Each structure stands twice: as C-alpha cells, then as structure tokens.
Amino acid sequence: MTTKGIENVNPQRFVKKTKREVTTQEEDESVKDPIDEREIFDLLRDISDPEHPMSLEELNVVQITNIEVDDHQNSVKVFYTPTIPHCSMATLIGLSIKVCLLRSLPPRFKVEVNISPGSHASEEAVNKQLADKERVSAALENSNLLEVVNQCIVKSLE
C-alpha cells in the first residue's frame, strides 16, 4: 500500500487539541456524565490516516464541530472531511470511523458516518456504502480491508 500511488503527497496539517481535562464532576461518583461531542471526538481523533502517519485530527478530517450527539435520542452523527475532493481513501477512512464507533459505543446508539457536504466528488455513493449495514460487515469479512482498518485504529489505543 505504501509504495505506489499516493494521491495527496503534501496535505495541509493542523495543530492538535490538548487532552480533555478531567473535571471534578467527572470524578464525582454520583453524577452521570452524558456522552457528548468531545467524547466521540476523543475516540476518533487519534485514528491514523491510511496514507499518512498523521492522525485524523491533524489532517482536520475529523473536527469536533462536525459531530452531532444526542444521548437521549441515542443518535451519533459524524461528518468527516477528506483532505482532497477526489480522495480514493475516503471510504476507507469512513469505514475506520464507523468500525471504531461500533466497537466502542453502547449498542443503543444509531451511528451515522457521512462525508461533510460538498467535500468529496462521490459523496453520495460513499455515504450510501457506509450506511449499508450489510456492506459494512461484508467489507470486514475481507481480511485485507480489515487489516488496514485495524492498523488505522490500533494507533489510537496506545
């Protein structure tokens, strides 16, 4: 994968956010912390890009402002922005985000992963693929794809 055909050799990079500070509320046993945008962002920020040794946060692919969470209605929506409009890795990045969320969020949530409107040439097709449960699980049956997805996610766990 690394030897040939990188599409965007020189992408723009961004400065990383600092770690979320632990509040006294979070340390208080009796308070229930709701699942919020920042929590979702923290799950995703360190996933690495399949092309670059940089995180999705550094490339501005995932931004906290593009995440919508409703803890009561059990919905999580993530809009991500590929670095260039014809990026062929877009589906793969979306898949990594989706897989990461499916593994680490409670099953009560309906997880939607979409490309930010207007940021990719084949936006609709990719969104459709990512929304299709069957296709997502079929993709993960493919050991090559699974390997790439896992490699992207594994760095976010260190």
Partner 1 sequence: MVTPTSIQKLRDSLVLQESMSEAISIVSQSIASKDITVLQLVENLQPELLHQQAAYRCRAVSTIASILEQLTPDLKGINEKEIDLITEFFCSKLKDHHSIVPAALHGLHILSSASRLSPGLARSIAQAIFQDVHCQSQLQHDRRTIYKTIKNLLALHIGELQVLGQDFVFGLIQAADQERDPRNLLILFSIFPVVARYFRLEPFTEEFFEVFSCYFPIDFTPPANDPYGVTKDQLCEGLRQCLASSAHFAEYCMPLLQEKLESDLVSAKIEALKTLELCCLSYPPTQLEKWIDTFWKCIRREVLINVNTEELEHASLDALAALSRAFATNGEFNNLAFTKLLKEILSECQGHLCEPERRLMTPSSYVLLAICSGNAPACALIVSQVIPLLTEQCRIRSQSAPRQFILNCLNKLVQAGLYGFTEIDVAQSGIYPLIPALLELYLEVLKEDDALLRSLSLQGLGHFVGIGMNHEDLEKVNQSLLGLLQQPLTTGHTVEEIGLFFYKCAEQNESWFVEQVLVKLLDMAISDKANEIFRLLRTLPPLPRIRAQVLSQLMARLEQSEPELRLEMLKALAYFAQHDELQMFHQLHNWALETLKEGDPPVSLEATCNILRKLASSLSSEDAKQFINEQIDRYIDQHLTSSAWVVPIMEATLGSLDAIPVGQNLDKLIKTLEPLTVCHPKTDVRISACRLVAALINKIPEGHELESILDSLRTKWQDPSADRSKTVCLFVWISKALLMRSYSKLDQSIQELVESLNDPTHGYLVAEGFKTILCETEQCLNFDSHANIRLMYRQRFFQEVVPRLLKLYRESPSCNKSACFAAIANQLAFIPEGVLVAHITTLIPLLIQCLNLEQPDQLIISTITAFMGLISDNVSAIEEYISSLVPRLLTLAKDGLTMEVRRLALRCLSELRKAQSVVLLPLRSEVILRLIPCLDDKKRLVRREAAVARQKWTMLGQAGCE
Characterize the bridge pairing of strands 67-70 and 110-115: unpaired
Minimum distance, C-beta of residue 12 to partner 1, in the bound complex (Å): 5
CA 57 to chain centre: 9
Cα gap 19→22, rounded to integer Å:
9
Minimum distance, C-beta of residue 103 to partner 1, in the bound complex (Å): 5
What residue type is assigned to position 155 of the chain?
A: K
Residue number with CB closer to partner 1 (130 or 152): 152
Q: What residues line the site for partner 1 (CB under 8 A)?
A: 2-3, 6, 9-15, 22, 26-27, 29, 31-33, 35, 39, 42-43, 51-54, 100, 103-108, 143-144, 146-151, 153-154, 157
Cα gap 92→86, rounded to integer Å:
13
Angle at Cα 123 formed by Cα 85 and Cα 68, nearest 5°? 105
Minimum distance, C-beta of residue 59 to partner 1, in the bound complex (Å): 8
Residue number with CB closer to partner 1 (106 or 118): 106
Length of the chain equals 158
Minimum distance, C-beta of residue 137 to partner 1, in the bound complex (Å): 14
